[in-house]
Amino acid sequence: MRYIEPHAHMVSRVTDDYVAMVTSGCAAVCEPAFWAGFDRSSVQGFHDYFCQLTEYEPKRAARFGLPHFCWLCLNPKESEDAAFAKDVLAIVPQFLDRPTVLGIGEIGLNKNSRNELKVLEWHVDFAARHDQLILVHTPHLEDKFKGTRLTLDVLRADSRIRPERVIIDHVEEHTVKMVLDAGFWAGMTLYPETKCTPARAVDILDGYGQERLWLNSACDWGVSIPLNVPRTALEMRRRGWSAEAVDRVIYQNPVRFLSQSPRFRVE
């Protein structure tokens, strides 16, 4: 079995996780920029984080033969301070040409505030001006439905945005249809307590087809399971999916989306 982990926060994970992923068939890992669990106190803090994502973490992954790619942005949990967000966005161009950068992400909304929305619009404009792929985080729990609708409003309002170059992540049963109907890709995040379980993710695949959908563990410093993509593959096999159908979802689909960036390559 082979798979792509298209969303994992490996800076928060231990080296054993790399070993487990590679020995389970992981062929590449992609790491969006996210919240560290605390607010950075300066733009320099983001500069250092972007260096970690583009320099150190690819080297750490390479020790285990795993290609590591990343996405850059200021995450929505730190976008309430719009002036600070603008300063952070201003340093992103320094990193855009680095060889493992795939696009802008994970941008989006957290509590659906006006400033978050403004910062999301800036990121979308930035991605459009720099012709970048976009990875969107959708809010947690009670805020997800509203935040997904607001996000779609922002993306559809910008005529430069091509839906096939945008993935909207963390969809669940109440948001997946609106994302797919609008022509975007949708990501399902496999968490033990929130977002999707493996069983529910396969239900969604059964209900909405296997086009423009991918699976990710989004493993980070919280309660999460780095091997939840291969565990969901096991769930598919238990339900009688063929090996080819499993491969299409956990390998071919992410490769199809990510290959829109010329920097994404897997053996």
Of the two residues 101 and 202, which places its CB atom closer to another protein in the complex?
202
Asked if 41 interacts with another protein (CB under 8 A), we say: no
CA 88 to chain centre: 20
Count of CB atoms within 10 A of residue 176's CB? 21
Evaluate whether 197 touches 228 at the Cβ level (below 8 Å).
no
Asked if 220 interacts with another protein (CB under 8 A), we say: no
**DSSP, res 175:** T
Asked if 247 interacts with another protein (CB under 8 A), we say: no
On the 0-12 / 13-18 / 19+ scale of CB atoms within 10 A, 200 is middle
Q: What residues form DSSP beta bridges with 185?
A: 167
Of the two residues 21 and 236, which places its CB atom closer to another protein in the complex?
236
The interface mask with another protein, positions 159-188, x = CB under 8 A, is -------------xxx--------------
The interface mask with another protein, positions 68-107, x = CB under 8 A, is ---------x--x---------------------------
Evaluate whether 110 touches 76 at the Cβ level (below 8 Å).
yes
Pair of tokens at residue 15: 């080296």
Find the length of the chain: 267
Of the two residues 129 and 238, which places its CB atom closer to another protein in the complex?
238
Asked if 238 interacts with another protein (CB under 8 A), we say: yes
Of the two residues 87 and 121, which places its CB atom closer to another protein in the complex?
121
Of the two residues 54 and 189, which places its CB atom closer to another protein in the complex?
189
Cα–Cα dist 264/246, whole Å: 21
Q: Using CB under 8 A as the criterion, which residues of the chain lie in contact with another protein when the complex forms?
A: 35, 77, 80, 110-117, 139-146, 149-150, 172-174, 199-200, 203, 238-240
